[in-house]
């Protein structure tokens, strides 16, 4: 791997639109991984999942809350409507009890009745003011400590879910990294391919240009006809047009690669594999692979496996709603005015401790149906996992077959190129000796161009098949 400081310097220098040589594939990958927005977003999702995991851990610990309130009331509270007169009692030694002090009729010895009511001789005054309380300004506060004891397994399940969610976020980030690397590799080898084809197009133009000069000289000497000269000139113009198309395609491909690497699109740089006769190293492909190892390495399979675990834990969360839940709590509350010792307009407080138990009894099947829905989601996730494994097995077989075919195709194109080069040599020699017509020479040149182009395509195809196979096998290095 390249030192990060050197990569940073390279990125700065390249962003100034200067031209630098021999930028290797690893450097392009590193720059793309540092600047790709999808990967940066995935990293933030990992951070968010980590915070959620820490949040779930806090549910094991007691929670401490403070609640304060203030209220202004327009009127005070009075327990009586007006001043009250209460009858009194006097101790009677004869009976040993207390008797009401009532006005007695001397003739009958019975209490005097007025309008059906007795008349007390003594009363106690209870003024309204004594039972009127000032509640214009009311303050209240409570400090509460709550400790969950048993929540039906919900806290444990939520902690497991957040742990799996963090692992899932990491897995999805790694999958995004592989996708970016595959895009960079494809763009890199596309530039290398078009650069090789541009070089090939220039060589083809040079061949036709030389042939055109020779034919014009032969026309002047009367050996060739004007039709021969026109045929060569048309072919030369077509070659120049094709070279322009290749050059433009190369420029666009460089822009795409620069954009993937997080650089300005006008950055000019040369890739390490440009101009090389042998494009990249020729990899060796196995004929079969251990699918269990492939499944263990594949990020999408790991993501689905984590999804199964998450949905199973969600089912446990749903089940917890059908189980008893127990918590203990302590509280210190203060009020002003307070009534702990009379009714006073000052703060007074007291401690309280207790427990709360919630036992679900009957919810018309709502909680049970929620649990069954969660279990169904887990079954669906399991089926998706099995389906993904079947598709991956087919994907690996196809990628392996395509890679081996790419190698065979490359070997065949090399053989065809050797024959095309010999055919061109013989055609040029025959043309110089005057025994080979111009059409045969141009046909040999066209065959030579096609053979070279097929070799370039086959080399690039081998590289791309290697990258794709490493991606489906989960062995991509980055």
Tell whether 344 is covered by a domain.
Answer: no
Residues 267 and 388 in one domain: yes
Residues 18 and 116 in one domain: no
Contact 317, 158 (CB under 8 A): yes
User: What is the pLDDT at residue 21?
Assistant: 55
The closest of 137, 430, 456, 102 to 278, measured between CA atoms, is 456
Tokens of 415: 């053989």
**Ranges of the chain whose pLDDT falls below 50:** 1-18
Cα–Cα dist 181/476, whole Å: 9
Question: Judging by beta carbons within 10 Å of its beta carbon (0-12, 13-18, 19+), is residue 35 exposed, middle or buried?
Answer: middle
User: What is the pLDDT at residue 9?
Assistant: 40
User: What is the pLDDT at residue 57?
Assistant: 94
Cα–Cα dist 460/191, whole Å: 10
Return phi, psi of residue 324, to 5°: -65, 150
Cα–Cα dist 158/280, whole Å: 49
Mapped onto helix, strand or coil, the DSSP state of residue 367 is helix
Residues 267 and 372 in one domain: yes
User: What is the pLDDT at residue 94?
Assistant: 81
pLDDT tens per residue across span 65-104: 999 999 998 888 888 888 888 888 888 888 888 888 888 8
Residues 185 and 92 in one domain: no
User: What is the pLDDT at residue 18?
Assistant: 45
Tell whether 103 is covered by a domain.
Answer: yes
Residues 251 and 310 in one domain: yes
Residues 194 and 92 in one domain: no
Residues 96 and 175 in one domain: no
Cis peptide before 337 (omega within 30 of 0): yes
End-to-end CA, the chain: 9
Tell whether 466 is covered by a domain.
Answer: yes
Residues 116 and 242 in one domain: no
DSSP strand pairing (84-87 vs 325-336): unpaired
Tell whether 22 is covered by a domain.
Answer: yes
Tell whether 252 is covered by a domain.
Answer: yes
Contact 178, 471 (CB under 8 A): yes
Tell whether 56 is covered by a domain.
Answer: no
Where residue 190 sits, what CATH number does that domain have? 1.20.1600.10
Contact 291, 297 (CB under 8 A): no
**Domain tally, the chain:** 2
pLDDT tens per residue across span 369-402: 999 999 999 999 999 999 999 999 999 999 999 9
Residues 161 and 270 in one domain: yes
Residues 292 and 166 in one domain: yes
Tell whether 253 is covered by a domain.
Answer: yes
Residue-range definition of the domain harbouring residue 98: 84-126
User: What is the pLDDT at residue 114?
Assistant: 82
Residues 296 and 389 in one domain: yes
Tell whether 197 is covered by a domain.
Answer: yes
H or E segment to which residue 418 belongs: helix 366-433
Residues 398 and 445 in one domain: yes
């Amino acid at each position: 791997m390249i030192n990060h400081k050197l990569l940073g310097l390279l990125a700065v220098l390249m962003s100034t639109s200067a031209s630098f040589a021999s930028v290797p594939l690893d450097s392009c990958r590193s720059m793309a991984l540092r600047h790709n927005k999808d990967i940066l977003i995935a990293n933030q999702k990992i951070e968010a999942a980590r915070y959620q995991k820490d949040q779930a851990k806090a549910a094991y610990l007691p929670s401490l809350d403070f609640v304060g309130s203030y209220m202004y009331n327009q009127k005070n509270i009075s327990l009586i409507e007006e001043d009250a007169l209460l009858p009194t009692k006097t101790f009677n030694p004869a009976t040993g009890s207390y008797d009401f002090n009532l006005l007695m009729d001397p003739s009958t010895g019975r209490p005097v009745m007025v309008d059906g009511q007795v008349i007390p001789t003594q009363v106690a005054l209870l003024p309204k003011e004594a039972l009127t309380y000032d509640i214009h300004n009311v303050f209240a506060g409570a400090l509460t400590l709550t400790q969950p004891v048993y929540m039906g397994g919900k806290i444990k399940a939520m902690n497991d879910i957040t742990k799996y969610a963090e692992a899932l976020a990491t897995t999805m980030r790694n999958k995004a990294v592989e996708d970016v690397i595959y895009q960079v590799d494809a763009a890199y080898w596309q530039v290398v391919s078009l650069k090789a084809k541009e070089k090939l197009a220039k060589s083809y133009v040079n061949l036709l240009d030389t042939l055109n000069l020779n034919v014009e000289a032969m026309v002047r000497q009367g050996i060739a006809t004007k039709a021969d000269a026109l045929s060569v000139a048309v072919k030369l113009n077509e070659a120049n047009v094709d070279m322009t198309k290749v050059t433009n395609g190369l420029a666009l491909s460089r822009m795409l690669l620069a954009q993937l690497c997080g650089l300005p699109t006008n950055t000019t740089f040369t890739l390490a594999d440009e101009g090389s006769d042998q494009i990249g190293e020729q990899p060796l492909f196995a004929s079969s692979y251990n699918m269990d190892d492939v499944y263990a390495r594949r990020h999408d399979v790991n993501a689905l496996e984590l999804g199964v675990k998450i949905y199973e834990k969600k089912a446990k969360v749903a089940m917890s709603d059908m189980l008893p839940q127990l918590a203990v709590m302590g509280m210190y509350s203060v009020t002003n005015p307070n009534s702990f010792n009379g009714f006073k307009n000052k703060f007074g407080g007291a401690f309280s401790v207790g427990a709360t138990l919630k036992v679900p009894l009957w919810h018309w099947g709502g909680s049970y149906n929620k649990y069954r829905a969660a279990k169904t989601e887990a079954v669906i996730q399991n089926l998706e996992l099995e389906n993904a494994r079947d598709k991956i097995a087919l994907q690996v077989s196809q990628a392996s077959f395509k890679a081996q075919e790419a190698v065979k195709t490359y070997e065949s194109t090399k053989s065809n190129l050797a024959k095309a080069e010999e055919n061109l040599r013989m055609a040029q020699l025959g043309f110089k000796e005057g025994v080979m017509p111009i059409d045969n020479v141009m046909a040999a040149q066209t065959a030579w161009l096609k053979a070279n182009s097929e070799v370039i395509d086959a080399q690039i195809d081998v590289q791309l098949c290697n990258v794709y196979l490493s991606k489906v096998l989960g062995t991509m290095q980055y």
